[in-house]
Chain A
């Protein structure tokens, strides 16, 4: 509650003195355990701000939607550490200018929410390095352990079964801060490069495209997984791809706004194990 009150006051001050034109945060949702994205432009709207452990959604995608930053004014945004990493990646991929972003950082342990010190991404570089070295403990997921034990055939069958539920609503794409392409490959229809059908092949095509495109860019915020209306455990795909990128290229995405994107850069000492 203290953190929430403190941030309400900060947002009001920064709006009043013209530092930011808007802050993006959370407000109560339609049930007690839900939170909705909130766009704060006035003091009254700031009073709707909620900050607690149920504020999970990574809001950074809104920064690059429909030209929010095109007037070069500053926008404040509430972010957990993985959201700050998203901002760094978006900056590294030239999608936004970090000088336009005022970060209201927060994190939570259990039900306790606490502020993170700093306002610009560089203020958090020590924190992000620390997270890289000592990733926060996550609860064991029995399904993940099951998948890790599968051989290639079993894994293929498992994912085929999971993807069979896919309806190609693209909620995973739309919820992802990294899926900012003006025209996604699956929407490129002159000609239609990827089938639009959500049959077995089509669902595989989409999910494989998505997995590869997010490799080395995903911060595992879980937006895609939570957005999926048919409950495909997408987080496991992204976690695994992130691990491959760390193991293969020593690349932990989102450490700084100038970090080179791993799949868009070349290093002489890259391992070549993937070249057949």
Chain B
């Protein structure tokens, strides 16, 4: 016997979680963009989309974040730290790729220096993921050895029933069990079976691609120039990516006081590796695109034993010139 959460109880659940002090967040279709956003009612959630335009990353690692305020005085510098406002959150209706993205980035943010901004939000968030019963042409989780029902990064996995009636509940972590204990009165025992997950065709052989990338001879391959000729060097792919995590630290203010901020940065930009001298070790767009692919499928797994891609497909879906990880790895598979 498993438990079921029926869709018509979602409003009650959201109300219950909110009265228990949780901020409820989920996929919301705005006027011109979809994203994970705070909701007040269950009916505000748009659970039918393949996945939101914007990834879950930004709820843990916002595009700009104040770190400290500084004031320079005659003989001293005063500083005051900013910490993220504490808020217990439940993210209802994450997609498995987005939830996986968080788990992929955990070792990065906790490796040598423990990023308190990231981990405070991670510790304060319960991730309730809904398994996918539909996909689009750009989804590629299965090519990354993940699946439409991956549980990586997830506290509770929901498997949809037919006719949007609700979900089978699989509680995976203590944090998930605690959050669902709050709404246990709305869960029903049942022996129903869930809908099958969507078939997402494999688009390339990941192992073969990784082997090619790991071969030092291919670092200077002509392939990089060819595949990236049309790259225009924007950061659309990196900023929508659920795992890209690079940031820059900037002081904003005048000579005497200001705020130190942590802002998203992208390896697509020429400025990313520009030295103070003016020399740029990645002086061409092909070198920058190579870096993005190498980082995700060679350097990152070399350090953390996991690829830095969860197969959401946003990079390809949103690219102004129709590039992306899928095409690049497909082309590498053919080499």
Residues on A facing B (Cβ under 8 Å): 29-31, 34-37, 39, 57, 61-62, 65-66, 165, 167-171, 173-175, 187, 189-190, 192, 195-199, 202, 223, 226-227, 229-231, 233
B286 → chain A, closest Cβ, in Å?
Answer: 9
Provide the residues of chain B in CB contact with A174, threshold 8 Å: 232-234, 320
A257 → chain B, closest Cβ, in Å?
Answer: 24
Determine if A195 and B322 form an interchain contact, defined as CB atoms under 8 angstroms apart: no
Determine if A175 and B320 form an interchain contact, defined as CB atoms under 8 angstroms apart: yes
Interface size class of B (residues with CB under 8 A): 35 or more
Q: Mark B320-335, 1 if CB is under 8 A from A, else 0.
A: 1111101100000000
Q: Report the Cα distance A142→B271, complex, angstroms.
A: 39
A24 → chain B, closest Cβ, in Å?
Answer: 9
Q: Report the Cα distance A66→B284, complex, angstroms.
A: 8
Q: Which of A35, A36, A167 has the most CB of B within 10 A?
A: A167
Within 8 A of A (CB), among B267-286: 269-271, 276, 284-285
B137 → chain A, closest Cβ, in Å?
Answer: 5
Determine if B138 and A30 form an interchain contact, defined as CB atoms under 8 angstroms apart: yes
Determine if B64 and A229 form an interchain contact, defined as CB atoms under 8 angstroms apart: no
Q: Report the Cα distance A62→B231, complex, angstroms.
A: 10
Provide the residues of chain A in CB contact with B236, threshold 8 Å: 169, 171, 227, 229
Determine if B64 and A198 form an interchain contact, defined as CB atoms under 8 angstroms apart: yes
The A interface, classified by DSSP as helix, strand, loop or mixed, is loop
Provide the residues of chain A in CB contact with B316, threshold 8 Å: 30
Query: What are 28 A-B contacts with C-beta separation under 8 Å?
Result: A29-B322, A30-B137, A30-B322, A30-B324, A30-B327, A31-B137, A36-B322, A37-B229, A37-B230, A37-B321, A61-B232, A66-B284, A66-B285, A167-B63, A167-B264, A169-B239, A171-B234, A174-B232, A174-B234, A190-B276, A195-B250, A197-B64, A198-B263, A227-B232, A227-B236, A229-B236, A231-B53, A233-B32
Q: Report the Cα distance A51→B233, complex, angstroms.
A: 25
Is there a chain A Cβ closer than 8 Å to B46's Cβ?
no
Q: Which 8 A-B pairs have the closest CB atoms?
A: A227-B320, A171-B234, A169-B235, A174-B234, A37-B230, A197-B64, A174-B232, A29-B322
Is there a chain A Cβ closer than 8 Å to B133's Cβ?
no
- Identify A230's interface contact among B33, B137, B323, CB under 8 A: B33
Within 8 A of A (CB), among B13-66: 32-33, 53-54, 63-64
Residues on B facing A (Cβ under 8 Å): 32-33, 53-54, 63-64, 137-138, 229-230, 232-236, 238-240, 248, 250, 252, 261, 263-264, 266, 269-271, 276, 284-285, 316, 318, 320-324, 326-327
The B interface, classified by DSSP as helix, strand, loop or mixed, is loop
Q: Which of A168, A171, A173 has the most CB of B within 10 A?
A: A171
Q: Which residue of the partner chain B has the closest CB to A227?
A: B320
Provide the residues of chain B in CB contact with A202, threshold 8 Å: 64
Known: A30-B322, A226-B320, A227-B320. A198 touches B234 (CB 8 A): no
Determine if B63 and A195 form an interchain contact, defined as CB atoms under 8 angstroms apart: no
B40 → chain A, closest Cβ, in Å?
Answer: 19
A249 → chain B, closest Cβ, in Å?
Answer: 30
A197 → chain B, closest Cβ, in Å?
Answer: 4
Determine if A196 and B321 form an interchain contact, defined as CB atoms under 8 angstroms apart: no
Q: Which residue of the partner chain A has the closest CB to B54?
A: A230
- Identify B318's interface contact among A189, A198, A229, CB under 8 A: A229
- Identify A36's interface contact among B137, B230, B235, B276, CB under 8 A: B230
Q: Which residue of the partner chain B has the closest CB to A169?
A: B235
Determine if B322 and A168 form an interchain contact, defined as CB atoms under 8 angstroms apart: no
A36 → chain B, closest Cβ, in Å?
Answer: 4
B208 → chain A, closest Cβ, in Å?
Answer: 21
Q: Report the Cα distance A29→B327, complex, angstroms.
A: 10
Known: A36-B230, A227-B236. A197 touches B137 (CB 8 A): no
Determine if A227 and B239 form an interchain contact, defined as CB atoms under 8 angstroms apart: no
A152 → chain B, closest Cβ, in Å?
Answer: 22
Provide the residues of chain A in CB contact with B138, threshold 8 Å: 30
Q: Apart from A34-B322, A189-B271, what are 16 other A-B pairs with CB-CB below 8 Å?
A: A29-B322, A36-B230, A37-B321, A39-B229, A66-B285, A168-B264, A169-B236, A170-B234, A171-B232, A195-B252, A196-B263, A197-B263, A202-B64, A227-B234, A230-B54, A231-B32
Provide the residues of chain B in CB contact with A30, threshold 8 Å: 137-138, 316, 322, 324, 326-327
- Identify B266's interface contact among A169, A175, A223, CB under 8 A: A169
Determine if B322 and A197 form an interchain contact, defined as CB atoms under 8 angstroms apart: no
Provide the residues of chain A in CB contact with B240, threshold 8 Å: 229
Known: A195-B250, A230-B54. A175 touches B137 (CB 8 A): no
A144 → chain B, closest Cβ, in Å?
Answer: 14
A39 → chain B, closest Cβ, in Å?
Answer: 5
Q: Report the Cα distance A190→B271, complex, angstroms.
A: 12
Determine if B234 and A169 form an interchain contact, defined as CB atoms under 8 angstroms apart: yes
Provide the residues of chain A in CB contact with B64, threshold 8 Å: 197-199, 202
Q: Report the Cα distance A31→B264, complex, angstroms.
A: 30
Determine if A230 and B234 form an interchain contact, defined as CB atoms under 8 angstroms apart: no
Q: Which of A62, A169, A227 has the most CB of B within 10 A?
A: A169
